[in-house]
Structure 1
Amino acid sequence: MTTDTTSGTTTGATGRNRPAVLGGAPVFPDGLPLTRVRVPDREGLLGRLAGVLDSGMLTNGPTVRQLEEEAAALMRVPHVVAVSNCTAGLMLVLQAAGVDGRRPVLMPGFTFSATAHAAHWAGGSPLFAEAREQDVTLDPADAEARLKAADSPAAMMATHVYGTPCQTEELQRIADAAGVPLVYDAAHGLGSARRGVPVGGFGLAEVFSMSPTKVAVAGEGGLVATRDAALAETLRTARDYGNPGDYDTLFPGLNARMSELHAAVGLTWLAGLPERVAHRGALVAEFARAAAGVPGLRLALPEEGDTSTFKDLTLILDAGAFGLDNRQLAAALKAEGVDTRRYFFPPVHRQKSYAHLGQAEELPRTDRLAASVLTVPLWSHMDAATVRRVADAVVRVQPFAAEVAAVVGTAAGRV
């Protein structure tokens, strides 16, 4: 027997690394979390925070305005409005767009629950559509058919899932034909590009997250990007309770302001964002090379010419070919020390929150994809050697799939 010094695993006479779940040494004996945050410029951040504290102005100050200006320049849009979080930004955009009366708001079933929650809180009713096979973003053909059949639709929403840009041109054509605004849940997309054009300027507005799991972090926070000056002005009022400045509120708004402290963190993370996005793309390409040829395994990848932030590195499994489903693989990877998540399972249309809409049986492709995805660790400061070890942790399981399934079959139901 020999030892593979790259992974720390034991190799038998067959030349195959025996998975940890079957008694082999784990690839990551100390564990590897799904995400790990590292501030890119701690000294610079401390200086920014000190400046905010010295100013005595913790909200409605110049740091938020600077973040908005720098983000607008990065996304090549005229207007960016900072908000407390992405969900609040989506709520306010949909409210401003006239979503009300529980009219249908078309959106993907394969998205984070906040997409649907925002539509509900704004006064709409989620209407779910299928995901594309290739990249799990909203399927334009299915969206068009459902939108045409809807009774007085209020809006259309799409999500740049994992940071992968949607089919923006086709979705805009569909929204225009239906006479509804198109709003993007771009929570994962700050730094993505569609055919060389930065995500941020598509549709009526695009709403980004800067929470700790994202590629650009403010601690908590969000950004709304738009080319519509009137919408931007409305949002600036809406994020401050609907108060235009004289406390005679114009409409029911929210306290959705981003604090100066969060903006200081956001500015630190915004610097160097293109380089971090490029690095993440290189890491995903490294994973793809290391896992090439494994039966039943593919990645959720953007189209040629598009740039994804790869907020998540997500595998799509064909359980029949791979020999394990995503729950079983998750259990096997847990034994290797690798943290995973099933993003997004259950899909929103099957969650208890929206069971009353009765769409659970209407999205078979989304159901299949949601039951097939598994997200593995990827960080902006991860190195190529680590991502190769993550790939090794996946690859080493497949030749032993039948044995692994026998061991984790019962436990997998709890993953």
Structure 2
Amino acid sequence: MTSTPDRPALPALLGGEPAFPAGLPLTRVRVPDRAALLARLGAVLDSGQLTNGPTVAELEEGAAELLDVPHVVAVSNCTAGLMLVLQAAGVGGGRPVVMPGFTFSATAHAAHWAGGAPVFAEAREQDITLDPADAAARLAAADRPAALMATHVYGTPCQTERLQEVADAAGVPLVYDSAHGFGSRRGGVPVGGFGLAEVFSMSPTKVAVAGEGGLVATRDAALARTLRIARDYGNPGDYDTLFPGLNARMSELHAAVGLNWLAGLPGRVAHRGALAAAFGSAVAGLPGLRLALPEPGDVSTFKDLTLILDAEVFGLSAEESARALKAEGIDSRRYFHPPVQRQRAYAHLGQAENLPVTDRLAGSVLTVPMWTQMDAATMRRTADAVVRIQSHADRLGAVLR
């Protein structure tokens, strides 16, 4: 069937040609400057020192410069970093830690393992980050709250100014799960220096990659000193441990990989922003579809390019749209569905029914492929597939239901 301006060609589920017959994965990692990386790895192996060496220190210094913060502590992963920050901040004894329900489960896991009790708060309608007003209300209702946590979802910066006011009013530390945010900016300020600490991920799906690893950024010198001890079992160097720490060191090999990704990071973030803008332009005007976007003046890493679908208006639910995209060869994910308060790990808290906005948004999200080296033509073909699917939503609905 030939497409027309009013009726695009048939989607694959209705007999059309798939947009990507060979498949389009959600993420694809391509290591930059492999020769430089191999030289770094070789130097580490030649040194015979695989932990607690100069490569980790070099990564910390480079990250601190990019983030414009005085202290960065490298750790084995973002979750461990969050756990150690919360422990150092005095979370424990089952005291409440207010956090978004719309986040990756590791946010809640970190609070749990640090001895806190997650209390979930609503998401903002506009960008799905933590709603400061709802967080304030839940802090006020909590018995001796221990901390406030927020997540820069998809790399979209939170309402940092308002959240700091909320935390200060409640007398609790503010800790950011910044797993997605290395390279994001709130106004002209790099994400990394807000709150007591911000913890980044360097896992393979992120914009800056170490294979596995995390970075804790902070302006608090005492916290940084504590974290350097905490990541090594709580051992200050004489094996007389000061507190129950973790084996949360980043290896020299992972640090070498991470260093390789720091060079050119702002340019890669800018490219991802351009891809997101191109996708947004291509789907502009589609009924029932909007993107999770940062506020004007903010910069997102677009770690994930996520659609928010109004099923009644779009014509298909997020789940049905995912199945239609799969037929086009396009991978997708429901980031984040179900929200954490509805996951089985936290059912015992009895908070599943308390977040109607979060529930609605989580039921509406669908993340489509985007990676740093993706070209504009691939992004456009992905957008065109979404347009085809929506344009034939009436017929697709009969097939998918």
Judge same fold: TM > 0.5, yes or no.
Answer: yes
**Equivalent residue for 1:279?**
271
The question of whether the paired residues in 1 share the 8 Å contact of 2:53 and 2:252 is answered with yes
Show the 5 A alignment for 1:32-71.
32-71=24-63
- CA deviation after TM superposition for structure 1 residue 12, in Å: 7.0
CA–CA distance in structure 2, aligned partners of residues 15 and 360 of structure 1: 41
Match of 1:372 in 2: 364
Of 14, 19, 24 in structure 1, the residue corresponding to residue 16 of structure 2 is: 24
Check whether the contact 1:283–1:384 (CA below 8 A) recurs between aligned residues: yes
1:49-89 deviation per Cα after TM superposition (whole angstroms, max 9, x unaligned): 00100111100000000000000000000000000000000
Cα deviation per residue 1:81-140 (whole Å; 9 max; x = unaligned)?
000000000000000000011000000000000000000000000000000001100000
| Structure 2 partner of 1:94 | 86
Q: What's 1:201 paired with?
A: 193
Q: Match of 2:37, as an amino acid?
A: L
Contact 1:297–1:317 at 8 Å: present in 2 too?
Answer: yes
**2:99 aligns with one of 101, 104, 107:** 107
How many residue pairs were aligned?
Answer: 401
C-alpha separation in 1, matches of 2:67 and 2:212: 20
> Equivalent residue for 1:7?
none
**8 Å Cα contact 2:99-2:120 kept in structure 1:** yes
The structural deviation recorded for 1:35 is 0.1
Q: TM-score of the superposition, structure 2-length normalised? A: 0.99
Which residue in 1 is equivalent to 2:251? 259
When the two chains are superposed, the root-mean-square deviation of aligned CA atoms in Å is: 0.9
1:360 correspondence with 2:352:
yes
Report the residue type matching 2:276 in the other structure: V
| 2:151 corresponds to 1:159 | yes
Distance 2:157 2:204 in 1: 21
Corresponding residue for 2:135? 143
CA separation in 2, counterparts of 1:165 and 1:196?
Answer: 11
Deviation beyond 6 Å, 4+ runs, structure 1: none
2: CA distance between counterparts of 1:207 and 1:73? Answer: 16
Deviation at 1:362, TM superposition (A): 0.6
Distance 1:49 1:58 in 2: 10
State yes or no: 1:399 paired with 2:391: yes
Rounded to whole Å, the distance in 2 between the matches of 1:13 and 1:102 is 59
Partner of 2:77 in structure 1?
85
Task: Call closer, same or farther: CA 1:172–1:24 in 2, change over 3 Å.
Answer: same
Asked whether the 8 Å contact 1:163–1:186 carries over to 2, the reply is yes
> Match for residue 340 of structure 2?
348
Question: Residues 220-274 of structure 1, C-alpha deviation per residue, up to 9 Å, x if partnerless?
Answer: 0000000000000000000000000000000000000000000000000111110
- Which letter maps to 1:85? N
| Equivalent-residue separation in structure 2 for 1:292 and 1:144 (angstroms) | 35
Q: Tell me the distance in 1 between the aligned counterparts of 2:215 and 2:123.
A: 25
Partner Cα distance (2:139, 2:189) in 1: 27
> Given the alignment, which residue of 64, 68, 82 partners 1:72?
64
1:18-67 per-residue CA deviation (whole Å, 9 max, x = no partner) reads 00011100000100000000001101100100010011110000000000
Match of 1:6 in 2: none
Q: 1:218: how far off?
A: 0.0
Pick closer, same or farther for the CA change 1:398–1:250 going to 2, 3 Å: same
Residue 381 of structure 1: aligned partner:
373
Q: Secondary structure at the match of 1:235?
A: helix
Distance 1:15 1:322, change over 3 A: closer
Q: Distance in 2 between matches of 1:347 and 1:388?
A: 30
Please give the alpha-carbon distance, in whole angstroms, between the structure 1 residues aligned to 2:358 and 2:116. 22
Deviation at 1:14, TM superposition (A): 6.6
Change (3 A) 1:101 1:15: closer
Cα distance in 1 between the residues matched to 2:83 and 2:366: 29
Question: 1:344 Cα deviation (Å)?
Answer: 0.2
Structure 1 residues 135, 14: closer, same or farther in 2, change over 3 A?
Answer: closer
Q: Distance in 1 between matches of 2:265 and 2:130?
A: 26
| Alignment match of 1:119 (pick from 107, 111, 115) | 111
What per-residue deviation string (whole Å, max 9, x for no partner) do you get for residues 329-374 of structure 1? 0000000000000000000000001101111111000000000000
- Matching residue of 1:219: 211
User: 1:210 is matched with which residue: 202, 207, 211?
Assistant: 202
Distance 1:322 1:110 in 2: 22
Check whether the contact 2:7–2:391 (CA below 8 A) recurs between aligned residues.
no
**What residue is the counterpart of 1:413 in the other structure?**
none
| Rounded Cα–Cα distance in structure 2 between residues aligned with 1:27 and 1:249 | 58
Q: Distance in 2 between matches of 1:20 and 1:64?
A: 48
Tell me if the contact between 1:12 and 1:18 (Cα under 8 Å) persists in the aligned partners: no
1:317 to 2:299 alignment: no
Q: Secondary structure at the match of 2:127?
A: coil
Instruction: Work out whether 1:228 is the aligned partner of 2:220.
Output: yes
Secondary structure at 2:392's aligned position in 1? helix
Aligned-residue offset at 1:399: 1.6
Cα distance in 2 for partners of 1:405, 1:61 equals 57
C-alpha distance after superposition, 1:148-177 (max 9, x if no partner): 111100000000000000000000000001
Contact 1:186 1:209 in 2 (8 A): yes
**Partner of 1:396: helix, strand, or coil?**
helix
Specify the alignment match of 1:8 in structure 2. none
Query: Cα offset for 1:208?
Result: 0.2
The answer on whether the counterparts of 1:90 and 1:118 sit within 8 Å (CA) in structure 2 is: yes
What corresponds to 2:285 in structure 1? 293
